[in-house]
Amino acid sequence: MFIEPNITGDKRGWIEVICGSMFSGKTEELIRRLKRAKIANLKIEIYKPALDTRYNESEVVSHDANSIPSIPVDHAQSILLLAGDVDVIGIDEAQFFDAEITMVCETLATRGIRVIVAGLDMDYLGKPFGQMPNLLAVADYITKLHAICMKCGNIAHVSFRKTANESQVLLGEKDTYEPRCRKCMHEK
């Protein structure tokens, strides 16, 4: 990723969005970027939706069990209230946040903060998920990651739900979801 050099010395913020299906490595990439920022002695904070307690209530955890401490919040506005004097803010599972998440990210970037957001761009039906389309529209940098289709081995872009539950939000792991390609997502 190319970042323009800041020759004026002013603190410049921007928004990076990491998106893709489940099991594509979104959270892993978010953690990697945040750890690199920490190595560079940048001050970081990480937020996640309080409803995501799959692996840990107060850590962002990837499916590969890598983790980083985080602050669980119920509403996107809470991030603005809690954000301290930081250089980088990470936000995981952005698709679960309310409609204010885009404004929150833009406000933080305007303050000169690098904002790294990870989330599912599509739900289990292959439809845009939550506020992710809005975040993608305002992002300065976008990284789309892909998983491997569990049926045929091709590149997967959808999180296929293996259960009959039709709720858009259903927290789950490998027992509930598997990555599928465009062709295999329509096969049972």
Q: What pLDDT is recorded for position 47?
A: 95
Whether residue 136 contacts residue 17, with contact meaning beta carbons closer than 8 Å, is answered with yes
Distance of alpha carbon 131 from alpha carbon 100, whole angstroms:
9
pLDDT band at 187 (very low <50, low <70, confident <90, very high): confident
Given the residues 59, 93, 106, 187, select the one marked as catalytic: 93
95 is a domain residue: yes
pLDDT in tens, 117-147: 999 999 888 899 999 999 999 999 999 999 9
pLDDT at res. 59: 57
Domain with 105 in it: 14-145
CA torsion sign for 125, 126, 127, 132 is positive
What is the per-residue pLDDT for 160? Answer: 84
Task: Report if residue 164 sits inside a domain.
Answer: no
- Position 12 scores a pLDDT of 87
Per the domain annotation, does 9 fall within a domain? Answer: no
Domain assignment present for residue 83? The answer is yes
Of residues 118, 125, 126, the one with CA closest to residue 97 = 118
The H or E element containing residue 105 is helix 101-110
> Distance between CA atoms of 101 and 52, rounded to whole angstroms?
16
Residue 93 designated active-site: yes
**d(C-alpha 29, C-alpha 122), whole Å:** 18
Place of tokens 């300065």: 140
Q: Provide φ and ψ at 35, rounded to 5°.
A: -65, -35
Q: Examine residue 178 and state whether it is found in any structural domain, yes or no.
A: no
User: Quick check: is 163 in a domain?
Assistant: no
Residue 68 is part of a domain; what is its CATH number? 3.40.50.300
Count of structural domains, the chain: 1
Per residue in 60-81, pLDDT (tens digit) is: 655 565 666 788 999 999 999 9
More confident residue, 163 or 161: 161
Assess whether pLDDT exceeds 90 at residue 156: yes
Is residue 40 situated within a structural domain?
A: yes
| 62 within a domain of the structure (yes/no) | yes
As a whole number of angstroms, the distance between CA 45 and CA 63 comes to 21
Owner of token pair 């952005």: 94
Q: Are strands 141-145 and 147-148 parallel, antiparallel or unpaired?
A: unpaired
pLDDT computed for residue 170 by the predictor: 59
pLDDT of residue 57: 59
Cα separation, 184 vs 154, whole angstroms:
9
Examine the pLDDT at 6 and tell me if it is beyond 50.
Answer: no
